[in-house]
Amino acid sequence: MPSRAVVARPFTSTPALLFVSLRPEQWTKNLLVFAGLLFGGRLLDTGALASSVAAFAIFCVLSGVVYLVNDIADRDGDRNHPIKRTRPLASGELSPSVALVAALGLGVAALSAAFALRPGLGLVSAAYLLLLLLYSAVLKHLVIIDVLTISAGFVLRAAAGAVAIDIPISPWLLICTTLLALFIALSKRRHELTLLAGDATGHRRILKEYSPYLVDQMIAVVTASTLVAYSVYAADTQTAERLGTTRLPLTIPFVLYGIFRYLYLVHQRQEGGSPAELLVTDRPLLACVALWALSVAVLLYSPLGG
């Protein structure tokens, strides 16, 4: 029986441990809900902004619920993981029964808020929660399906942002989000394989179906597809007509640098295990994403974009 990790935390209260288990450091992933607001021309609409913020908060709670359930199910295996063993459930600091009750309560509250805001948002939120719970229970054990499910979770975040402010869901938004999410998910798989080496399958059974070479081939395909999809979207005449600017291709260099920087961090720095953490800790990557968002906002909402 593996020994439990001893974790020195500055707090031991149950609410604090529950909050840690919701993984707030991962909530940057939910910023995708603002994509519809930005590209839908509603960024300066205070009502739409408020709805997007509410949708962001709802998805932060829902993703936290998924993390709680996943940690409950995987707590025994996580005790053998060099990083995951410090989580409150894996270390034994947080009771599984308490975590389960909290997950149920938070899930009901978040879905209720989503349906109250917009019925469509409620349906997308329920689909997201169901899909990710299925991932925790079954889908994460199916090769290729596991990374496709993670990607679908990102797509549902983006779709929720569009539904929350009642704008059409652009096919390009779904395509680019799918490809970028696959790129990140596959990069995470590669990091797990290289970090855990020969012990990989002992920590996550599905890793035995992958190899660094296979994952690298998949990443190569998805990387090229992501760059081509965004470039075609940015240069498309229909995009220019809908957004009111022909200068969106000026943002392509930021996408190029961001993807290449991420690949550099994964391959040369052996990072990528936590994409959300990487985004806020790697300054060049953070600056790239911030400059991309700023450039898009300037092009779409100022006279410079005409």
- Amino acid letter, residue 186: L
Q: What is the mean pLDDT of residues 151-165?
A: 95
Contact of 68 with 98, CB cutoff 8 Å: no
In the chain, the N- to C-terminal Cα span, in Å, equals: 65
| pLDDT > 80? residue 304 | no
Q: Which amino acid is at 224?
A: A
Quote the CA–CA distance of 74 and 66 in Å, as a whole number. Answer: 12
- In the block, tokens 């054990």 appear at 141
Q: Is the pLDDT of residue 288 over 50?
A: yes
Mean pLDDT of 198-213: 73
- pLDDT in the model for residue 9: 52
- Given a cut of 80, whether residue 82 has pLDDT beyond it is no
Q: CB 71: neighbour CB atoms within 10 A? A: 23
Q: What is 13-169's CATH superfamily?
A: UbiA prenyltransferase (1.10.357.140)
Distance CA 305, CA 182 (A): 31
Q: Is the pLDDT of residue 32 over 60?
A: yes
Chain CA centroid to CA 104, Å: 22
CA 247/CA 253 separation, integer angstroms: 12
What's residue 204's pLDDT? 67
Question: Would you state the pLDDT for residue 199?
Answer: 59
Q: What is the pTM of this model?
A: 0.87
Predicted confidence at residue 284, as pLDDT, reads 94
Report how far residue 99's alpha carbon sits from residue 89's, in angstroms, rounded to the nearest whole number: 8
Average pLDDT over residues 161-186: 91
Query: For the chain, how many helices (H) and strands (E)?
Result: 14, 0
Question: What does the pLDDT read at residue 157?
Answer: 96
* Gap between the Cα atoms of 27 and 244, Å rounded: 31
Predicted confidence (pLDDT) at residue 5 exceeds the cutoff of 50? no
Q: Which residues contact 11 (CB under 8 A, 6 or more apart)?
A: 17
- Amino acid letter, residue 122: G
With contact defined as beta carbons under 8 Å apart, do 191 and 270 qualify?
yes
The predicted pLDDT at position 6 comes to 43
Q: What is the DSSP string of 121-132?
A: HHHHHHHHHHHH
Average pLDDT over residues 23-51: 92
Structural domain spans, the chain = 13-169, 170-306
Query: What is the rounded distance in angstroms from the CA atom of residue 289 to the CA atom of residue 297?
Result: 12
